[in-house]
Chain A
Amino acid sequence: AQTVTQSQPEMSVQEAETVTLSCTYDTSENNYYLFWYKQPPSRQMILVIRQEAYKQQNATENRFSVNFQKAAKSFSLKISDSQLGDTAMYFCAFMKPDATSGTYKYIFGTGTRLKVLA
């Protein structure tokens, strides 16, 4: 069974600094996708970034980038120039297609609570 591990329950970073959130996963699949979601105090789950496993190039979305190491099964999120609005819970998620139903099954990590300090 697939598992997703986020080993940092809480982190803090000074405003304008860079922070990296770690995520490791365990799978025997070759075709899968990885995601980072942000959950601010409003509780809304917001997609931050998405990575296809077959792509070697790391995904980037503005100040957010990932370091995807497929062999090591590692998918870390780097936030550059941290802003107060980045304060949130961050969830790493692994997804693979389900051959039976045609849908996609997500496995979520337990989250990292990030606080950006002024």
Chain B
Amino acid sequence: DAGITQSPRHKVTETGTPVTLRCHQTENHRYMYWYRQDPGHGLRLIHYSYGVKDTDKGEVSDGYSVSRSKTEDFLLTLESATSSQTSVYFCAISGTNGPPNTDTQYFGPGTRLTVL
């Protein structure tokens, strides 16, 4: 299994507070992704990174920001959490050495976030 960890694994917070989720990889993979999983929606891409300091928006990026200052860490920040951001968040990585390494995503264990 790819070496991907997420922290925290569970978090309960209140509306209006900032929250940062961390994804850490030990695979030296170039690409990293943040998804949210909600019932009836599958996984939806929030933001992704294609290199250090290189990030872009996914389909549900409103209310989220990301940063990637080094290859192994990809941070997802909710500047002011809302109840609609209650979800399970997954980090994923993929590599750079050609198929199947580049096209196959491997997922972290997920973070369950509850915004009250």
Contact = CB atoms under 8 A, between A and B. Distances in A.
Given A50-B104, A103-B48, A45 B42 contact: no
Q: How large is the interface on B (under 10, 10 to 19, 20 to 34, 35 or more residues)?
A: 20 to 34
Given A43-B88, A50-B100, A103-B31, A91 B42 contact: yes
Interface in B40-63: 40-45, 48, 50, 54, 56
Contacts, number: 55
B50 A103 contact: yes
Interface residues of A, number: 23
B110 A35 contact: no
Contacts of B31: 103-104
Nearest to A91: B42
A2 to B, nearest CB: 11
Contact of A43 (B33, B45, B109): B109
Interface in A52-77: 52
B34 interface: no
B50 A109 contact: no
Contacts of A37: 107
A3 B33 CA distance: 19
Interface in A78-118: 91, 95, 97, 101-106, 108-111
Interface centre among A104, A105, A108 (most CB of B within 10 A): A104
A44 interface: yes
Contacts of A44: 107, 109-110
B99 A110 contact: no
Contacts of A111: 42
Interface in B71-116: 88, 90, 92, 94, 99-100, 102-107, 109-110
Interface of A: 4, 33, 35, 37, 43-45, 47, 50, 52, 91, 95, 97, 101-106, 108-111
